[in-house]
A and B are shown apart, each in its own frame.
Chain A
């Protein structure tokens, strides 16, 4: 396999259309950042943030998990706002 073939292989647009690619990301974001799974992941991340940050006193990991929880909670509406424009 040549380097050019390898680069082509890494480009997802070689085996799916632009519309399919965008809709894949949209579905993925909607699944993770909206509805039940968003609530589940955000709550779990917040719980882990307290468990790891406060109980185990790994402060940096706790802070990162807290920001992950914020990103999941508000990421869905940010994305909706941007895509809705």
Chain B
């Protein structure tokens, strides 16, 4: 199909974020950074004001939102993983844990945050020019702030659950509401399970710190590696020309 006049899909003119276009998703941010990259690739300097304060905030918002949601998913999943490792929670319907089961539980818990970090890291190949770098830095700043917030939320959430919500008397009183609709044996089973699983929450809080550290450092490593690769490629192109 031929391109129509005025089709903006192949337009490489850098977009001013202060204007009407507001990136809502990561893909929008990638296309903005791509535009900066294409303009800056051959050493052209773009005016610094092209990325306005509003633009920077909007880009960091995109990084923040995704990382925050992935952080919340990690907070919910981490106790399950730690429960599997400490043999409180069964995985694949069995308490007979193999090495595969435990490795899978780790992979499952890390994968949401890691997946998001790797998606962000894919932008690293454009980390070359002044404006491209600045846009990516703001995106990563959003991710870092979300990571720190995730640690705070995880610590408050897990410790509140451990020290207050899952207090022995409180849990017993709550379960007794369901008696006699639910049998005493069943309620007792739930009570013993909850009390057994409780210490997992404290381990989970420390585990979240570790995963957040990985979530922040992995994209940076990928970005620096990919940007060096792109720089070498551009140098090679220059030599051949």
Contact of B111 with A57 in the complex, beta carbons under 8 Å:
no
Q: How far is the CA of A81 from the CA of B231 in the complex (A)?
A: 56
Q: Count of A-B contacts with CB under 8 A?
A: 71
**Contacts of B101 on A, CB cut-off 8 Å?**
39
Q: Is the CB of B93 within 8 A of A43?
A: no
Q: Are B115 and A54 in contact (CB under 8 A)?
A: yes
A35 engages B111 (CB within 8 Å): no
Say which size band chain B's interface belongs to: 20 to 34
A79 vs B90: C-alpha distance when bound (angstroms): 11
- Contact assessment for B108 and A38 in the assembled complex, using a CB-CB cutoff below 8 Å: no
Q: A70 is contacted by which of B77, B122, B186 (Cβ under 8 Å)?
A: B77
- CA of A73 to CA of B94 in the docked complex: distance in angstroms? 10
Q: Given A39-B100, A39-B104, A73-B104, do A53 and B115 touch, yes or no (CB 8 Å)?
A: yes
Which residue from chain B places its CB closest to the CB of A79 in the assembled complex? B93
B107 at the interface (CB under 8 A from A): yes
- Minimum CB–CB distance from B12 to chain A (whole Å) comes to 20
Interface assignment of B105: CB less than 8 Å from any CB of chain A: yes
Residues A46 and B100 in contact, CB atoms below 8 Å apart: no
Residues of A within 8 A of B (CB): 30, 33-35, 38-39, 42-43, 46, 49-50, 53-54, 57, 59, 62, 66, 69-70, 73-74, 76-77, 79-80, 85
